[in-house]
Structure 1
Amino acid sequence: MADQEPYLVISSDCHAGLPTEQYRPYLESAHHAAFDGFLAEASARREQATRLGVRNEAFARKWFEEHEEGLRGGWDAAQRDKELDGDGVAGEVVFPDADAVDSTTAAPFGVGLGLSGDQDPVLGMAGAKAHNRWLAELIADSAQPERHAGVALLPITGEVGAVVAEVRRAHASGLRAVMIPSMWVDKAPYHDRRYDPVWAVCAELGLPVLTHSGAAPRHEYGDHLGIYVTEVTFWPSRPLWFLLWSGVFERFPGLRFGIAESGCWWLPNLLWFMDRLYLGAHGGKKLSPFSELTMAPSAYVDRNCFIAATNTKRRELAQRYEIGVGNICWGSDFPHPEGTWPNTRQWMRTTFHDIPIAETRQLLGLSCAEVFGFDLARLAPIARRIGPTPAELGQPADQSAVEAAWAPAREVGRHWLTGHDFPFIGTARPSPTTTLAGGASRHTPDPTEGSTL
């Protein structure tokens, strides 16, 4: 019979932020005049968002009326812990911008989830530091600081020395990760060696580097909201292949890189595509060797990367053996309306009811704990008090049928490496393999059957 202990749940994607005007005490006085101008333009920004369809007026009114008390958890530590308890969440990773409807809790100068390479480098760093100071204070003053891993804002496209200094300052203040812009716009792309000192200090201090959905080239979309929502998760994902193919993960093997609130549905096909190029698929043979890499791309993803897959969907979990079970970190997105709060327990039951219990523990908390350095011993009493049990998620104590149902997909795994047929198409079959760097293996094609990569 399976272990029925409550789950230790850690959300890899939650949000906190002061009402914007209250950031003033955390902002250097030299920037107060510019901050006044930024505040004066807030209503115009909301009106534009409504006109473009980004803001649904009727939904916004209803959302704030029905969740007024809980939404205070965006900046009130006691209320925050109450909301986490209600969701069964023992720990959380804290990104900026508690309000994703009206942006009334945006960090100064728009450097929250809209952090981008086209922001003023001086004001951008000033706004980021103000938020980082406040977030560190919020966590330090919490009754249960062990529950919260703060993510520092890092305008990485600015002056490198200032960026490195802010990494060290944020780490010293207790923050446990950094968020960089998804878009560098007209600044140097992330394959540029100018960023190496930043990757180096983050690896040295054990701070994961993340991107998060939000920024996008909205000026290109007109009022066609569908274009924005179609590619808003593309931009945070794009730095992954810049870092990977340029050898950043080869030069900094201890660097951890994550992508938040962008799903993980896109990753299986990306891994298949990148691996087949690296491993010499017919269509890539004319290309020069990828001399920056010593392992297949999927091996770097397994070693260096993770996905903070907010509100993970069942379609994504069905592909978890291709993505890598240990690479997925579930998130609630509290307190954003597109997340699972305040109905997280029901969401978890709907999503995980037929997932093996051992894998559910990994997906709901253990992977996130490893990446962000949560102290499991300190979180355990909280989890025992509030965590949902396997039975509450509808998971049977006898796991034999569940394990058997997933066995074929688990055996196939990354089909382009294991040599099995694509999952659920035909019958999985053994095939000759060749060992790859990083411990992976690849199918050795039969010359009579063409390229199988």
Structure 2
Amino acid sequence: MSARRYTVISADCHAGADLLDYRPYLEKRHHDDFDAWAATYVNPYEDLLADTADRNWNSARRLTELEADGIVAEVVYPNTIPPFFPSASLMAPAPTREEYEQRWAGLRAHNRWLADFCAEAPGRRAGVAQILLNDPDEAVREIRRTRQAGLTGGILLPGTPPGSGLPELYSQTYDPIWAVCDELGVPVNHHGGSASPPLGEEPAARAVFMVETTWFSHRALWHLIFGGAFRRHPGLTLVLTEQGSGWIPGVLDMLDYYHGRLVAAAARTATAESKFGAGLAAAMGRGPSEVWRDNCFVGASFMRPHEVPLRDRIGLDKIMWGCDYPHDEGTTPYSREGLRIAYAGLPPEEIAAMAGGNAARVYGFDLGLLDPIAAGVGPTVEEIARPLDDVPQGATSPAFARGGSVRVW
């Protein structure tokens, strides 16, 4: 926070190279295959075909638009199609054995591009590296390489939905990944939409996807907790992004309940339920709420007004606001209004933490660098303190869908 202006860091933005611009970042042995793939590839996403698609890779435009929106730094998740993928890597199914080598080559190309992209705005972009889970040792090597290359946003943890053919996230198979992230202080980010099984393209399937996709993303939390990842690697940091935040207190209550019930049942060897809790206390260590308190954060994106009263139960030091730039559902260019609709009336120190301070701590942003920039472009304390009476006419973000007394068109 700079004097009377907030230092806003978006914990949820997206970027990627234009399709053909990934070629120089591929190893030369993949160039011919890439040329053949790119020549016939049809992009499935309208926003990557629109004249605004360059927001993903045009560094100068991006800085200008984010600063105009009051934002001085960002955590950068992937968005465009990496080489050899059928769709964005967030949504692509786990690769088959035949696809594995090329998919890895494509993700490495994206990671190399992202390191260069972040270097164009020193200290203002924390790039999130991509990995695959098929070979944990290979993933560890890429985590070490990308951290050394300057990607400070951590890693994007792929989902392991039913039918993926991969071990579930609670499996100790992935311990080498958790170990290197703990060692290097690399956050493990699990983004909404990255863990759902394929459901098809029928209208009902798309509706079911919208209902279920956040639940499938939430699964990473209880998989890692019950799997004991945080006991074995106590410095491990998990960030759950673009999954909302209002669900967290209820889910933690539920997890605490099952943890207590199963641990107690394990001590009663004569009961049928005892086998479900056998070994759980030793494997987990601390209870779920304690793990959340010590190891977990939420990239709440455009926090909704109904979630804000839960902030103390979620943890004021756990919440990181995000604008979801450049997506249509994001708050840009109305992020000031998005902050107002959620946070107007709150103590400035609470707003400062959720709007930027927590993200600076998790991802290592230097506030000494960012505060002077925010002094010129950040939203003022007085501005965010004013309740939002009217939704901006051009706003498309769900952040504005419900706002209590706010008039919604």
**TM-score (structure 1 length as normaliser):** 0.76
Structure 1: distance between partners of 2:174 and 2:231? 14
Equivalent residue in structure 2 for 1:343, among 322, 325, 334:
334
For 2:197, give the aligned amino acid: P
Give % identity: 36
User: Is residue 130 of structure 2 the alignment partner of residue 148 of structure 1?
Assistant: no
Structure 2: distance between partners of 1:3 and 1:260? 26
SS state at 2:126 partner: strand
**TM-score (structure 2 length as normaliser):** 0.84
SS state at 1:145 partner: coil
Query: Structure 1 stretch 318-327 or stretch 115-124: which is displaced more?
Result: 115-124
The verdict on how the C-alpha distance between 1:37 and 1:228 changes in structure 2, with shifts beyond 3 A counting, is farther
Q: Per-residue deviation at 1:355?
A: 2.2
Aligned to 1:431: none
8 Å Cα contact 2:9-2:359 kept in structure 1 = yes
8 Å Cα contact 1:90-1:387 kept in structure 2 = yes
Residue deviations 1:142-187, cap 9 Å, x none? 1x311110100111x2222221111111001000111021225111
8 Å Cα contact 1:13-1:95 kept in structure 2 = yes
Q: Per-residue deviation at 1:15?
A: 0.8
For 1:179, give the aligned amino acid: L
Query: Structure 1 stretch 184-193 or stretch 331-340: which is displaced more?
Result: 184-193
8 Å Cα contact 2:12-2:322 kept in structure 1 = yes
Equivalent residue in structure 2 for 1:107, among 82, 88, 113:
82
Equivalent residue in structure 2 for 1:175, among 145, 151, 157:
151
Aligned to 1:260: 241
Structure 1: distance between partners of 2:38 and 2:60? 27
Residue deviations 1:243-286, cap 9 Å, x none? 10010011101011111111112212110101122234999784
For 1:81, give the aligned amino acid: L
Residue deviations 1:13-46, cap 9 Å, x none? 1011111122111112222343344434532x63
Aligned to 2:394: none
User: Is residue 107 of structure 2 the alignment partner of residue 132 of structure 1?
Assistant: no
Structure 2: distance between partners of 1:113 and 1:86? 28
Residue deviations 1:100-139, cap 9 Å, x none? xxxxx31223363225434532122111100000000111
1:23-102 → structure 2 map (5 Å cutoff): 23-43=22-42, 46=44, 64=50, 68=52, 71-97=53-79
Q: Per-residue deviation at 1:91?
A: 1.1
Aligned to 1:386: 377
The verdict on how the C-alpha distance between 1:245 and 1:221 changes in structure 2, with shifts beyond 3 A counting, is farther
Q: Per-residue deviation at 1:198?
A: 1.1
Structure 2: distance between partners of 1:273 and 1:230? 20
Aligned to 2:402: none
SS state at 1:393 partner: helix
SS state at 2:306 partner: helix
Aligned to 2:138: 162
1:177-326 → structure 2 map (5 Å cutoff): 177-183=154-160, 185-215=164-194, 216-220=196-200, 222-224=202-204, 225-280=206-261, 286-287=273-274, 288=277, 290-291=280-281, 292-326=283-317
Structure 2: distance between partners of 1:89 and 1:186? 40
8 Å Cα contact 1:212-1:259 kept in structure 2 = yes
Q: Per-residue deviation at 1:196?
A: 0.9
8 Å Cα contact 1:182-1:213 kept in structure 2 = no
Residue deviations 1:285-339, cap 9 Å, x none? 8442632223220110111111111111111112112211211111000101111
8 Å Cα contact 2:228-2:285 kept in structure 1 = no
8 Å Cα contact 2:346-2:385 kept in structure 1 = no
1:115-130 → structure 2 map (5 Å cutoff): 115-118=92-95, 120-130=99-109
Structure 2: distance between partners of 1:33 and 1:259? 38
Corresponding residue pairs, total: 368
Query: Structure 1 stretch 216-225 or stretch 81-90: which is displaced more?
Result: 216-225
The verdict on how the C-alpha distance between 1:159 and 1:277 changes in structure 2, with shifts beyond 3 A counting, is closer
For 1:201, give the aligned amino acid: V
For 1:368, give the aligned amino acid: A
For 1:370, give the aligned amino acid: R
Q: Per-residue deviation at 1:342?
A: 1.4
Query: Structure 1 stretch 229-238 or stretch 122-131: which is displaced more?
Result: 229-238
SS state at 2:10 partner: strand
Structure 1: distance between partners of 2:160 and 2:135? 16
SS state at 1:126 partner: helix
The verdict on how the C-alpha distance between 1:187 and 1:25 changes in structure 2, with shifts beyond 3 A counting, is same
SS state at 1:218 partner: coil
Structure 1: distance between partners of 2:143 and 2:73? 23
8 Å Cα contact 2:75-2:125 kept in structure 1 = yes
CA RMSD of superposed structures (Å): 2.5
SS state at 1:15 partner: strand
SS state at 1:309 partner: strand
Residue deviations 1:50-79, cap 9 Å, x none? xxxxx6xxxx69x946xx3xx533212111
SS state at 2:165 partner: coil
Structure 2: unaligned runs, 5 residues or longer: 267-272, 388-409
Structure 2: distance between partners of 1:112 and 1:80? 22
Q: Per-residue deviation at 1:359?
A: 1.1
Structure 1: distance between partners of 2:263 and 2:151? 46
For 1:135, give the aligned amino acid: L
The verdict on how the C-alpha distance between 1:4 and 1:139 changes in structure 2, with shifts beyond 3 A counting, is closer
